[in-house]
Structure 1
Amino acid sequence: MSSASDPIDFEPSSEALASMTTSRPSGWGPVRAYDWLDHHAANRPAKEAVRDLGTDRSFTYADLDRRADALAGYFGSLGIGRGDRVAVLAHNGVEYFDIQFACARTGSICVLLNWRLTVSELEYIINDSSPMLLIHDESFADSANELQRLCSIDSLLEIDGGKPDSAYERALGEATGAELQRAALTHDDVITIMYTSGTTGLPKGAMITHGMNFWNCVNLGIPAGIGVDTVHLNILPLFHTGGLNCYSNPVLHAGGTVVILKTFDPAETLQVLGDPAQGITHFFAVPAPYQFMMQHPDFETTDLSRLRIAGVGGAPCALAIMEAWTERGVLLAQGFGMTETSPACIFLDPGDALRKIGSTGKALMHTEFRIVDDDGNDCGPDQVGELWVAGPNITPGYWNKPEATAKAFEGRWLKTGDAARMDDEGFVYIVDRWKDMYISGGENVYP
């Protein structure tokens, strides 16, 4: 086993256990899920929370708080409450955060839909999650209507680029959250269902809890230096954990500002990164956008001096990309995660990026990992095995998939399905997919 902070091997006596139990305060129970938006609206109402460049709109924490309450009131008018699902099929926009916080306030669950999927692929997800409401933007109106015809969706609500007379904005204007009774939620309650790519079969809906969101904010917020003065540019789809949770949610948790682009464009992204009026301090992407930007003619002249941290994940980052950005004064912070881990669990400090090329780093503060062989025994340095992770940021399982959930876990350990090794300094390297391994001549072989 290896971890940034291994658990202490401590076995308390039965008397000590009894003492700890009886000394708990009255009413002690699961940890309450706190409302970050409500906190910031009360303490920094005029602070900018979201800057939506796709529609040229800006929202303070007070604005976002009012919108979340109004949308929660609209949910209530449709009979949507605790445990009910609300699906989203839309390009990036402030509406993702409206919906997330409205779901949190009603106890409902947000189902994020990948707009790259076909209607037939989305039909499976809709039937699996059974949302009462599908919120979609105008570009997906045909798909939404077809899905309503094919599946049991009670209501549709269309987003139209922030136009005051759009169905979505009218719903916010007409609804009221004044009488809203906010759901009493704990860290164990589900806030989001994110469907995995289905590389091992049909997509599975990973359940993301309020606690997972919180611990991801802590896990990422500390090494990324996220705070009230953070201004994060998000280009990744907000239906994906990379867009929503690296670093958008951690920034909102800290009271910073999230800047949203509707979709990625290399020239536009470089322009925003270099614009002092935007003041971008944080950025995250998969390797491809970094490559596209470094190949753009504006890359050499863009002022990147305000960037404090640029994260990269989702795939191995090529040395050429690392070196090109390092030459521009930007050290890329690599990491490893997956939808089921909310997503961050391993992080490579930018200072080690070039020294440990190919490594995803070490365990984040509130995550443990093991690398195990076929028999579940811990591997030694540089021995390849399957990566297992544990911690409060790990999914409780898959929606409607008890067998898949049971198969994914060994006790409290989530089996990632990734083949990995750890060097003698404790740095982790992802080798391949463990499930792609085959045996030849008694040796593990990776295609």
Structure 2
Amino acid sequence: MPAWTTSDPVALHARTQPDRIACVDLATGRRWTYAALDEAIQRAVGVLETGHGIEPGQRIATLARNSADLAVLQQAAMRLGAIFVPLNWRLASAEKQAILADCDPVLLLHDTALEMAPPKGCMSIEVAAFTAAVEAQVQAPRRSLPASDAPSIILYTSGTSGRPKGVIVTERNALATAVNFGVLGRVGNASVFLCDAPMFHVIGLITSLRPPLLQGGTVLISPGFDAGVTNRRLADPALGVTHYFCVPQMARMLRDHPDFAPSNWTALTAIFTGGAPNPAANIHWWLAQGVRMVDGFGMTEAGTVLGMPIEADRIASKAGSAGLAAPTIGLRIVDDAGRDVATGEPGEIWLSGPSITPGYWNRPEET
């Protein structure tokens, strides 16, 4: 069978609604319409290709906090067929070196001084310098997009097994997650996402970016989470945030902050949580404040898997649950022999569908 080419929602919306705001970098105030974002991505393709000699399949690593520049870089790598590898900048130097040795990048972008030498054969450049080069670059000629099942992103996650494994994310995987979260979370053309979860994590890089970009919505990118700043942004009518995805610990910090004023979150559809258990009592507390807290379950290896409904009464009746399977997810709960268990019986979750990773980078035996 021939491979399906990658979808490119930014390029699509640059033609269907060129003047709509696609992305805002909250640290700098820079804003991109879909037409401008599409052009910036294509200029970044030129910088990667002619300025750095990047070829399809090669890895581009980053050690940098959230910015719209990283989103532009990832989309440019996607169009070129290169593989984007954002590293957790919180890791110790030895852990970063082990990951860089595993993914073997040819280019490393960073926003602070490097505390170690880049791997042999790897160029390094500051994010600000790359951004300046993009602004000065002439657009590269457009070409056929790579196959949707080719590796596009590698996200390193340790899970419960110790040494981090690189989860391969294809564009087919990312698109399926955008559909899955978009359906469960009621994402549409008018949606405005606030992204302050780290973009080296699936929540920040995939779930907070791909659903709104697929629908032609708006992404507000923050360098990172700050409870006071996030509270004020959720209450800012000029921003009009409709969707905010965080882990339960971040939600707890929001409610404990002096600036917590959920009555002012008038545009918000819901706070979406995942990544850790969320007790029923906590869900009920948020509902009492007039905020729908929509819990779910996902994995770096599978994207969005489960999600609660948006309706407050449905949330209340099943508080503590991780919700229902997303539309492209096939799900079974089985016993040790692989047989489906009865309702209410414990078992192991088996998943299938287009959002599921094809495997771990350099670790076929663990896939």
TM-score (norm 1): 0.78
| Contact 1:304 1:329 (8 Å CA) reproduced | no
TM-score (norm 2): 0.95
Say whether 1:190 aligns with 2:163. Answer: no
Partner of 2:34: 61
Equivalent residue for 1:152, pick from 106, 120, 125: 120
| Contact 1:196 1:204 (8 Å CA) reproduced | yes
Counterpart mapping for 1:319-330 below 5 A: 319-330=280-291
Partner of 1:177: 139
Partner of 1:41: 14
Equivalent residue for 2:98, pick from 121, 124, 133: 124
| Contact 1:107 1:183 (8 Å CA) reproduced | no
CA shift for structure 1 position 183: 4.5
Query: 1:311, 1:359 → 2: CA distance?
Result: 13
Counterpart mapping for 1:13-28 below 5 A: none
Q: Give 3-state SS (helix, strand or coil) of 1:100's partner.
A: helix
Equivalent residue for 1:346, pick from 299, 306, 309: 306
Equivalent residue for 1:359, pick from 321, 336, 342: 321
Query: 2:103, 2:161 → 1: CA distance?
Result: 19
Alignment identity in percent?
38
Worse-superposed segment, 221-230 or 394-403: 221-230
Amino acid at match of 2:17: R
Counterpart mapping for 1:396-411 below 5 A: 396-405=358-367
Say whether 1:317 aligns with 2:289. Answer: no
Q: Give 3-state SS (helix, strand or coil) of 2:354's partner.
A: coil
Which is higher, the Rg of structure 1 or of structure 2?
A: 1
Q: 1:340 to 1:301 in 2, by over 3 A?
A: closer
Equivalent residue for 1:288, pick from 249, 264, 267: 249
Worse-superposed segment, 256-265 or 181-190: 181-190
Say whether 1:388 aligns with 2:362. Answer: no
- CA-based RMSD of the aligned residues comes to 1.6
Q: 1:126 to 1:198 in 2, by over 3 A?
A: farther
Q: 1:76 to 1:276 in 2, by over 3 A?
A: same
1:21-45 Cα distance to aligned partner (Å, 9 max, x none): xxxxxxx622221211111112222
Equivalent residue for 2:234, pick from 236, 248, 273: 273
Query: 1:159, 1:188 → 2: CA distance?
Result: 28
Partner of 1:91: 65
CA shift for structure 1 position 318: 2.7
Amino acid at match of 2:30: R
Say whether 1:214 aligns with 2:186. Answer: no
Query: 2:188, 2:137 → 1: CA distance?
Result: 33
Amino acid at match of 2:277: P
Amino acid at match of 2:197: L
Q: 1:298 to 1:321 in 2, by over 3 A?
A: farther
Query: 1:86, 1:142 → 2: CA distance?
Result: 16
Amino acid at match of 1:367: I
Query: 1:168, 1:31 → 2: CA distance?
Result: 31
Query: 2:241, 2:21 → 1: CA distance?
Result: 13
| Contact 1:300 1:328 (8 Å CA) reproduced | no
Say whether 1:258 aligns with 2:219. Answer: yes
1:56-102 Cα distance to aligned partner (Å, 9 max, x none): 22111122112211111111122212111101111111012111110
Query: 2:144, 2:58 → 1: CA distance?
Result: 12
Q: 1:301 to 1:363 in 2, by over 3 A?
A: closer
Partner of 1:435: none
| Contact 1:134 1:153 (8 Å CA) reproduced | no
CA shift for structure 1 position 109: 0.5
| Contact 2:5 2:148 (8 Å CA) reproduced | yes
Amino acid at match of 1:349: P
| Contact 2:69 2:131 (8 Å CA) reproduced | no
How many residues are treated as equivalent by the alignment? Answer: 364
1:122-172 Cα distance to aligned partner (Å, 9 max, x none): 1111111111000111x2x223xx141xx2242112023xxxxxx123321
| Contact 1:111 1:194 (8 Å CA) reproduced | yes
Partner of 2:335: 373
Query: 1:213, 1:198 → 2: CA distance?
Result: 20
1:353-412 Cα distance to aligned partner (Å, 9 max, x none): 22112211121111011112222222112211111111011000011111111xxxxxxx
Q: Give 3-state SS (helix, strand or coil) of 2:301's partner.
A: helix
| Contact 1:290 1:321 (8 Å CA) reproduced | no
CA shift for structure 1 position 211: 0.5
